[in-house]
Structure 1
Amino acid sequence: MQEISLLNSVIGPVMRGPSSSHCAAPYMMAKLVRELSCSDGEVLKNAVVRFDPNGSFAPVYKAQSSDENFAAGLAGAKLTDPDYRDILGRVEQGEGFQFGVEVTELENNNHPNRVDLELTVETADGTLRTDLYAGASVGGGMYYIDAMNGEPVFLTGKTATVFVWGDGAVLDAGDIAQKLASGTNTLLGTSVDPTHQRVEVSLQSLPDATVLDAIRRRDGVVAVRFGDASQYPVCTGDDLFSTADGVIAVAQQQPGSSLADAALVLEAKRLGLSRDATRKLFRERCELMLRVVAEGFDAKPEDNVMRFLTLRARKVRDANLPAGLGGPVLQDAMAGALSAMERDSNRGLVCAAPTAGSAGVVPGTLYGLIRHGIDIDGATDALQVMAVIGAVFAARGTFAAECGGCSVETGASAAMAAAGVSYAYDGDAKQCFDAASMCLMNTLGLVCDPVGGDVEIPCHARNVAGVSHAFSSAMAVLAGFDAVLQYDELVDQTVKIGSMMHPDLRCTARGGCAATKTAHRMVEAITQGI
């Protein structure tokens, strides 16, 4: 079953913090387990988040604000809440609930981003109950919960989910599913587990409280728990994005052989929406990205919380460079990328595209296009193309730098942006994929080495390079260059090489730029408050 969604997984999620793996997914995972544990009016009293010392969370969770996002999710906060960043400090002092992070060896540590969550809740009768969850963040804000109180599950937040326990639930699973999906709701799947006397029902949205209460009162039902979808609900698990040729074939069925239309058709199918409704969502996402860039340019130096960098995006945009050096489109795109990353590093609301560590490339590219002749409809078309290029990458690999280094973040985002630029200037589907291929072949083996664990150095510079890479690749292909090597093969090699990298080169802040003498001095100075 393929759950990749262009708006959820590739040009999303919308999030706060510098890392989609370490910020977006933790927020959504925490919010989901809180909903599950507090489904029957329970009150969260204590939460403990556990990371393995050999995983990627342990060395960077403070610098990348993973703890901040776990705390906000457990508090049930909205991303737009004005006090979002204050929640961690409050719960660490016991306000609302007790919160703690432990670094300890996990029983299951088969992924660098594994996490265990222990929630203690007070039930309606005043007794305490402890729930144990286990899961992993798998890149680009995607995640899974694969254990709940010792029972195997596989929750990705791509649907609303209702669990019903009891012998009566197993016997009446079909009827229960139909009752939960009453009205305009859509039933997306039902799973019966006789061993644990459990029925799992996947839905497009959660039923209202009266429907859930009616299920609780049924004979033979002992418990009901539920959690809403973390993002747009996924309504079909069809394999839509696994190959470039498959996407191009869909494009060739659309008016004018449009790759942008192919993206629209495939995403509408994935989300169970009309093409018009899906197009509206893409345009809103495009406008959000441009708004993030604008907010970054308007940021004030006194509001900057970055540990190593100062705000430079506006300076880069307004600089008077020598005539003929790069050109105004590229300069604006580079400045736009920096602006989005500065917003990202300052914990502003941003869109992972496909990750927070590469959240500047796509918005910066769109900003450059908009500033120089491409209207909002054309930019939205380009964004749709960028998204479908990224989806093929996601279908064959991962966006988690902890698994593949920076080649799966800024390498992937540059490939996406290159395809979008090619499309904006009338490139056909093959040229779009060729431009993306150029970016991948030139970023094979790019390491992830954030100084001090912060997504600042070299991440901001790599986003600038990603934009430059995107435009140069598009220019070369539109001028007649042939990438020769196929996009699918280069994605596969990107993933393969990433798996061969030493762990110190995959988002642990122990190698590469992070291991330079200057980096060590900077981190030491910050740590000691110099």
Structure 2
Amino acid sequence: MQEISLLNSVIGPVMRGPSSSHCAAPYMMAKLVRELSCSNGETLQNAVVRFDPRGSFAPCYKAQSSDENFAAGLAGAKLTDADYREILGRVERGEGFRFAIEVTELDNNNHPNRVDLELSVLTLDGETRTDLYTGASIGGGMYYIDSMNGEALFLTGKTATVFVWGADAIANADQIAAELATGENSILDISHDPDHDRIEISLQSLPDVKAFNELRTRDGIANLRYGDASQYPVCATDDLFSTSEAVIAVADGQEGGSIADAALVLEAKRLGLSREATRALFRERCELMLRVVAEGFDAKPEDNVMRFLTLRARKVRDANLPSGLGGPILQDAMAGALSAMERDSNRGLVCAAPTAGSAGVVPGTLYGLIRHGIDIEGATDALQVMALIGAVFAARGTFAAECGGCSVETGASAAMAAAGVAQAYGGDAKQCFDAASMCLMNTLGLVCDPVGGDVEIPCHARNVAGVSHAFSSAMAVLAGFDAVLGYDELVDQTVKIGALMHPDLRCTARGGCAATKTALRMVEAVTKSA
């Protein structure tokens, strides 16, 4: 079973904050558990989020605004809410509900991004109930919830989910599912857990609340909980992206052998949508990325909340460089990458691509293409190819820097962008994968070492390098260079080498650039002035 989606998992999610692992997933996990605990009209009174001291959340949850995103998700906020960043302060003061973060040893700590969430709610009967959820953020905004009050489950937010407990639920699971899936809604899965007298129904979307109210009153129904999909619902779990060979075969089956069309066919199947509807979503995502870049260029210095960097994207874009150095498309793409990262670090709305730490490479590349002769349709084609390259990476590995270092963030995003550039300038499917391979060769073992835990230094510089890497790799391949080593093999080696890295080199701010004397002095200075 495979749930990787191009729009959800690779050029998404749309999010706030500098880290998809530490911002996007926390927001979605918190929002989901709140919905589950408050399904029957309960009111959230208290929420405690727990991290293990040996994990990656503990040292950087404040610097990377994990606390803001957990709080906003638990409050049921929308990403577009104007007061999004104010929610944490309010709930820490007990306004609405009480919120706290505890760093303590977890019973299950098998992933660096493990988290326990304990919610206390007031029921309609005036009683207090406590629910405990466990889960993990696994990179690129993806996550799972794997237990609820000791009952094993596996929620990824890729579908709307309904849990029903009771003898009648077990006996009439198919009928209950059919009653909930009215109209164009689809039943995606029904599973039975007789040990807990529970059924789990996965739907394309949640039904009207009236359907739940009627179900609650039925004899033999002991309890009911439900949560909406965090992103676009996944309607097919076929293995679509595990090998470049399989993807190229799909491309070869399209008229003209287009890898961009292959991406469209596969994502339409994944989401249960028409090709036309899927194309519209890709174009919308492309336009969002370009809008993020534009907003970054328009940002005012007084609005900058970065601890170490000032706004430089517009300066880079408008600089008069020596004639013949780099070229205008590369300069614009680099500036675009910086612009997106400055929005990212200032907690603006951005799109992980595939992560927030690498959120500048793809939009910067698209900005460069748009500024120099590629129209929005061509840019959307390029984005589809970028997403497809990233999906093969995700299917074979991870986007979590906590597991693989920066080679799985800016390394992966550079590979994606390189394939998109090759596509934009007439490259075939093999050339797109070769350009991506060339990028991965050169980022094997790249560490993740954010100074002070902030996604600023060296992250912004790495996004500039990722764009440069993408264009140079595409140029080399289109000029006749052969990458020789296959993309799949290089993804596998990227993951293998990431696992061999010392933990201090994987997003803990304890090694690499973060451990230089200058970095330590900078962190000490901003800490004292805080």
Question: Into which bin does the TM-score normalised by the smaller protein fall?
Answer: over 0.9
Q: Deviations over 1:438-474 (max 9, x none)?
A: 0001000000000000000000000000000000000
Q: Give the match for residue 500 of structure 2.
A: 500
Query: What amino acid is the match of 2:199?
Result: V
Query: What amino acid is the match of 2:32?
Result: L
Q: Give the match for residue 142 of structure 2.
A: 142
Query: What amino acid is the match of 1:266?
Result: L
- 1:314-325 correspondence runs (5 A): 314-325=314-325
Q: Following TM superposition, where does structure 1 have runs of at least 4 consecutive aligned residues deviating by more than 2 angstroms?
A: none
CA drift of 1:39 comes to 0.1
CA drift of 1:301 comes to 0.2
- 1:109-508 correspondence runs (5 A): 109-508=109-508
How far apart in 2 are the matches of 1:240 and 1:47? 38
Q: Secondary structure at the match of 1:153?
A: strand
Query: What amino acid is the match of 1:82?
Result: A
How far apart in 1 are the matches of 2:256 and 2:173? 47
How far apart in 2 are the matches of 1:198 and 1:114? 26
Q: Deviations over 1:210-253 (max 9, x none)?
A: 11112111211011000000000000000000000100000011
How far apart in 2 are the matches of 1:182 and 1:463? 46
How far apart in 2 are the matches of 1:218 and 1:194? 19
CA drift of 1:174 comes to 1.5
How far apart in 1 are the matches of 2:277 and 2:167? 41
Query: What amino acid is the match of 2:100?
Result: G
Query: What amino acid is the match of 1:85?
Result: R
CA drift of 1:258 comes to 0.3
Q: Deviations over 1:65-124 (max 9, x none)?
A: 000000000000000000000000010011100000000000000000000000000000
How far apart in 2 are the matches of 1:300 and 1:210? 47
Does residue 39 of the first structure (1) align with residue 44 of the second (2)? no
Q: Secondary structure at the match of 2:174?
A: helix
Q: Secondary structure at the match of 1:357?
A: coil
How far apart in 1 are the matches of 2:187 and 2:503? 42
CA drift of 1:171 comes to 1.3
CA drift of 1:308 comes to 0.2
How far apart in 1 are the matches of 2:89 and 2:213? 36
Q: Give the match for residue 63 of structure 2.
A: 63
Q: Secondary structure at the match of 1:126?
A: coil
Q: Deviations over 1:327-372 (max 9, x none)?
A: 0000000000000000000000000000000000000000000000
How far apart in 1 are the matches of 2:264 and 2:447? 33
How far apart in 2 are the matches of 1:72 and 1:497? 35
How far apart in 2 are the matches of 1:378 and 1:172? 50
How far apart in 2 are the matches of 1:285 and 1:183? 28
CA drift of 1:255 comes to 1.4
How far apart in 2 are the matches of 1:117 and 1:425? 48
How far apart in 2 are the matches of 1:175 and 1:188? 14
Q: Secondary structure at the match of 2:350?
A: strand
How far apart in 1 are the matches of 2:179 and 2:120? 31
How far apart in 2 are the matches of 1:159 and 1:238? 15
How far apart in 1 are the matches of 2:184 and 2:430? 41
Q: Secondary structure at the match of 1:415?
A: helix
Q: Give the match for residue 101 of structure 1.
A: 101
Greater CA drift, 173-182 or 407-416 = 173-182
CA drift of 1:484 comes to 0.1
How far apart in 2 are the matches of 1:37 and 1:66? 21
Q: Secondary structure at the match of 1:200?
A: strand
Q: Secondary structure at the match of 1:99?
A: strand
Q: Deviations over 1:423-451 (max 9, x none)?
A: 00000000000000000010000000000
Pairwise CA RMSD of aligned residues?
0.5
CA drift of 1:179 comes to 1.2
How far apart in 2 are the matches of 1:162 and 1:239? 25
How far apart in 2 are the matches of 1:13 and 1:231? 7
Per the normalisation by structure 2, the TM-score is: 1.00
How far apart in 2 are the matches of 1:261 and 1:168? 46
How far apart in 1 are the matches of 2:331 and 2:281? 28
Q: Deviations over 1:140-175 (max 9, x none)?
A: 000000000000010000000000001111111121
CA drift of 1:180 comes to 1.3
Query: What amino acid is the match of 1:298?
Result: D
CA drift of 1:183 comes to 2.1
Identity of aligned residues (%): 85
Query: What amino acid is the match of 1:204?
Result: Q
How far apart in 2 are the matches of 1:382 and 1:140? 20
What count of residue pairs does the alignment treat as equivalent?
Answer: 530
How far apart in 2 are the matches of 1:291 and 1:177? 41
Does residue 8 of the first structure (1) align with residue 23 of the second (2)? no
Q: Deviations over 1:187-221 (max 9, x none)?
A: 00000000000000000000111111121112110
CA drift of 1:182 comes to 2.2
Query: What amino acid is the match of 2:201?
Result: V
Query: What amino acid is the match of 1:23?
Result: C
- 1:85-100 correspondence runs (5 A): 85-100=85-100
How far apart in 2 are the matches of 1:156 and 1:381? 28
How far apart in 2 are the matches of 1:464 and 1:516? 21
Q: Deviations over 1:243-286 (max 9, x none)?
A: 00100000011111000000000000000000000000000000
Q: Give the match for residue 78 of structure 1.
A: 78
Q: Which runs of 5+ in 1 are unaligned?
A: none
How far apart in 1 are the matches of 2:104 and 2:344? 29
How far apart in 2 are the matches of 1:313 and 1:350? 16
Q: Which runs of 5+ in 2 are unaligned?
A: none
How far apart in 1 are the matches of 2:256 and 2:229? 35
Query: What amino acid is the match of 1:408?
Result: V
Query: What amino acid is the match of 2:44?
Result: L
Q: Secondary structure at the match of 2:357?
A: helix
